[in-house]
Structure 1
Amino acid sequence: MLSEWFWWDRLWLPRPVMWADLQDGEGCVYARVSHLYITLPVAVLLLGLRALYERLIAVPLAEALGVRDKSRKRASHNPVLEKYYKTHSKHPTQADIKGVCKKLGWSERQVERWFRIRRNQDRPGVLKKFKEASWRFAFYLCSSFGGVLALYDKPWFYDLREVWAGFPKQTLLDSQYWYYIIEISFYGSLLFSVAADVKRKDFKEQLVHHWATLTLLSFSWCANYIRIGTLVMLVHDTSDVLLESAKMFNYAGWETTCNSIFVVFALVFMVTRLIVFPFWLIHCTWVYPLDQFEPFFGYYFFNVMLVVLLLLHMFWATLILRMVKKFLFGNLKGDERSDEEEDMEGSEEDYMHTNGYANGSGTGLSNGH
C-alpha cells in the first residue's frame, strides 16, 4: 500500500502521463530507480580511489609544494580534564572551569590554556586539509570536463526551452547515465567519509547541502528531470574547481597564487550560483514547464529543493564576501570556514607550571579526588 502511494503517477508525473507510458522500447530507454542501485558500490569504489589518490598523488604533490604539518604542543596528561574533554565539552563554561580549579588546585588561566592546547591537538593538520582539497579538486575538474563533453552538443545547453521538449518522454543517453551515476556516488562517498573529513564552521550547512544534492539528483532521475539535472551539476562543479585549487595553494603558502585564484572563484561563484542558477535554471524549472502541463507534486518538490540550494549559496556568498573584504584590506589568511588553531594565551612559564603540577603534587587529585 505504501509503495503504491509513493509511486502514484500523480506525485511524479504530469497529467495525463502514466508510468506505463515510460516503458523501454523502439530505441527509447527511460531512467529507472534500479539504475541507481549501482551508486552504492561506486561510492565505496570512489573511497578506495580517493585513498590511492591521496597516497600516490596528493602526498607527493604536497611535498613538492612544501606542505608540512607544524609541530604542536601536547596537553599535559590529566585524567580529570581528559575525561571532561571527551565526555562533556571541549569548551567548558566558566562555572565548570572554576569547579575543576578547586578539584585540581590549578588557576583558571592554567585550565583554560590546557583546553586550548587540547583542542588544537585534535585539529586536523595542514597536510590532511591539502589531501582533501586535492581530491575534491581532481574530482570537480574531471566532472566539469565530463559535463561539458556530455552537454556541448545538446540543444538544451543553448536553449533552455529544449529542456522540456517532449517531457517526460525523453530517452536516456549514455552520457547522462554516467554523469548522474558518478555525481551521485561522489556525494554519497562524502557522506560516508564525513566523520573523518575536516570539519569546518559550516559543517551543518555542508551536511544539508550533501543531502539536498542527493535528494535532488535522485528525484530528478526518477522523475526524468535529467536534462535540467545535468545543467545544475555543471553549474555547481565549475566554481568548486577554483575553490579547491585556491585551498591547495593556501595550504602550500602560495599566498599570491591563492588570492588570485580566490578572486576568480568569487566572481565565478557569484555569476553561476547567484545569477545563472536562479535566473536561468530555476526560472527554467519554475516557468517553462507550465506552458506544457499543470503543476503537480513533483514540480513543486523539485523547485523547493532548488530553492534550498539557492539559500545555501546565499549563505556561502556572505562568507565569500567577508573573505573578499579581508583580501581587499590585505588580511586574507585562510578559508573563512576553517576551524583555525587558537592562540596560546599566557606565558611559557604558566604552561610549564601546569605540566609540573600534573606530573607532581596534582597527581593524587587527578586520580580520584
Structure 2
Amino acid sequence: MAATPSPKLESFYTQKKRQPSQSEIVSLMAQCDKTQRQIETWFRHRRNQDRPSHTKRFCEASCSWRFFFYLIAFLAGLRTLIDRSWFWDQRECWRGYPQQPIERAHFWYYQLELGFYFSLLLCVSVDVKRKDFKEQVIHHIATIFLLGFSYCSNYVRIGTLVMLLHDSSDFLLESAKMFNYGTGWRKTCDTLFVIFAAVFLVTRLVVFPSKIIHTTLVLSMEVFEPFTGYYFFNVLLMVLQALHVFWAVLILRMAYKFLFLGKLDKDERSDEESEPEEGEDDKGDGEEEDEEVEYFGERSKEALNLKLKILTNSCVLNNLTNHRAAVVSKMRKAQ
C-alpha cells in the first residue's frame, strides 16, 4: 500500500530519517494534524515503498553478468588448474619459490578476478543493501588486497586455489536468486539453495582452513622463513575465514527454517528494517478494517475518558459548593 501524499512527512522522511522517534512523532502530530497511529502507519507504508522489488533483486542477482561470471570463472579456473601439480599436492605451491613462472592462463585468471571484485566494490553502494553490507565491503577490499599482493609476491599458485574455491559456490547462490526473483520456481530455488549451502559449508569451513590456511601458515615455512608479506597475507586469509563463519551462521539459520519449518521465506541477509514490514504491507482488507475499528475504538475511549474527567470535576465542584453551604448554615444557627 502506497503512503498518502503528505509534503511535511515526505520532507521529514527524505531529509532527516526514515523512522522518527517518539518526540519527533509528537512534533509531526502538531504539524500535520494527524494522530500518532496515522503517522506511524504513513512511515511504515513509505518505508515499504522503498523496499526493492523482485525485478530489481533479479537484475542484481543475474543481469547476465554475475551468475555467468562466477560460472565461467569457476569452469575456466578448474580447466587451467586440474592438471597442475599444486592442485592435488599443496606443497607444490612452494616448490621452487619464488622462482615460479606465471602461465598466461593464470595471468588472465588473475586480471579478470581482480577487475570483477573492483566492479563489485564500486557497485555495492547501488545494490540492494542487506544486513551484511559492511561485511561485503570488507570482503571485497580484503579480496582485492589478497589478489594484488599475491600477484606481486608471486603467490600465484596458492592465489589461484583461493579464487577457485570461492567461485565453486558463488554461482550456485546466484542461480538460486535467479529462480527465486525471476521465475518464482520455489522448488528449484530451494533445491539449489540446499546444494549451495552444502558446497559453501564444506569449501569455506572445511577445505579453506584445512588446505589453504594450513598451506600458507605451516607448509610454506618448509621453504622460507617468515617475512612481512607472510604475516600480511595470512591476516587477510583470516579475515576471509571470519567472514565465512559469519555467512555460515546466516546460511544455517535459513537451512533450519527450510528443513524443520518446511519453508524458506526470506533471505537472512535482508535489510533488518524492511523485514518486519513485508508482512504488514501485504495485509488483507479484513486486517485493514480491524485497524480502523481499533483506531475509532481508541478515539471513543479517549472521548469517554474526557467525559469522565469532566464529570468528576463537576462532582468535586458540587461537593465543595454543598459543603460550603452547610458550613454557612451552621454558622448562622450558631449566631
TM-score for the superposition, normalised by structure 1: 0.73
TM-superposed CA distance for 1:325, in Å, is: 0.7
1:107 aligns with 2:107: no
Letter in 2 for 1:223: S
More displaced stretch, 130-139 vs 295-304:
130-139
Letter in 1 for 2:20: P
The one of 178, 182, 186 aligned to 2:112:
182
The one of 247, 264, 279 aligned to 2:177:
247
In structure 2, the residue matched to 1:296 is 227
1:122-201 equivalences under 5 Å are 122-134=50-62, 135-201=65-131
In structure 1, the residue matched to 2:217 is 286
In structure 2, the residue matched to 1:309 is 240
1:347 aligns with 2:288: yes
Letter in 2 for 1:141: L
Cα distance in structure 1, aligned partners of 2:98 and 2:25: 62
Contact 2:87 2:161 in 1 (8 A): yes
TM-superposed CA distance for 1:350, in Å, is: 7.1
Compare relative contact order (CA 8 Å, sep 6+) and give the higher one, 1 or 2.
1
Contact 1:245 1:261 in 2 (8 A): yes
In structure 2, the residue matched to 1:97 is 25
User: After superposition, what is the alpha-carbon deviation per residue over 1:119-151, rounded to whole angstroms, capped at 9, x for unaligned?
Assistant: 121122111111221132111001101111121
Letter in 2 for 1:128: K
In structure 1, the residue matched to 2:253 is 322
User: After superposition, what is the alpha-carbon deviation per residue over 1:9-45, rounded to whole angstroms, capped at 9, x for unaligned?
Assistant: xxxxxxxxxxxxxxxxxxxxxxxxxxxxxxxxxxxxx
TM-superposed CA distance for 1:313, in Å, is: 0.3
| Structure 1 vs Structure 2 CA RMSD | 1.8
2:146 aligns to what SS in structure 1?
A: helix
Cα distance in structure 2, aligned partners of 1:114 and 1:349: 17
- Cα 1:110/1:349, change in 2 over 3 Å: farther
Cα distance in structure 1, aligned partners of 2:142 and 2:39: 41
1:204 aligns with 2:134: yes
1:256-275 equivalences under 5 Å are 256-275=187-206
Letter in 2 for 1:258: C
Q: Percent identity, aligned pairs only?
A: 56
Q: Based on CA coordinates, which of the two structures has the bigger radius of gyration?
A: 2
In structure 2, the residue matched to 1:87 is 15
Q: How many residues matched?
A: 280
TM-superposed CA distance for 1:241, in Å, is: 1.0
2:41 aligns to what SS in structure 1?
A: helix
2:224 aligns to what SS in structure 1?
A: coil
In structure 1, the residue matched to 2:324 is none
Contact 1:110 1:350 in 2 (8 A): no
In structure 2, the residue matched to 1:75 is 3
More displaced stretch, 129-138 vs 231-240:
129-138
In structure 2, the residue matched to 1:120 is 48
Cα distance in structure 1, aligned partners of 2:146 and 2:262: 39
Cα distance in structure 2, aligned partners of 1:205 and 1:101: 38
Structure 1: 5+ residue runs without aligned partners?
Answer: 1-72, 352-369
2:127 aligns to what SS in structure 1?
A: coil
Cα distance in structure 2, aligned partners of 1:111 and 1:209: 39
Contact 2:95 2:223 in 1 (8 A): no
Cα distance in structure 2, aligned partners of 1:229 and 1:348: 60
2:140 aligns to what SS in structure 1?
A: helix
- Cα 1:108/1:178, change in 2 over 3 Å: same
In structure 2, the residue matched to 1:48 is none
Structure 2: 5+ residue runs without aligned partners?
Answer: 293-335
In structure 1, the residue matched to 2:267 is 335
TM-superposed CA distance for 1:258, in Å, is: 1.1
User: After superposition, what is the alpha-carbon deviation per residue over 1:246-279, rounded to whole angstroms, capped at 9, x for unaligned?
Assistant: 1111222211111111111111011000000011
Letter in 2 for 1:308: V
Contact 2:118 2:144 in 1 (8 A): yes
- More helix by proportion, 1 or 2? 2
Contact 1:151 1:157 in 2 (8 A): yes
TM-superposed CA distance for 1:224, in Å, is: 1.0
Cα distance in structure 1, aligned partners of 2:20 and 2:205: 40
TM-superposed CA distance for 1:84, in Å, is: 1.6
TM-score for the superposition, normalised by structure 2: 0.80
1:75 aligns to what SS in structure 2?
A: coil
2:129 aligns to what SS in structure 1?
A: coil
TM-superposed CA distance for 1:168, in Å, is: 1.3
TM-superposed CA distance for 1:331, in Å, is: 3.1
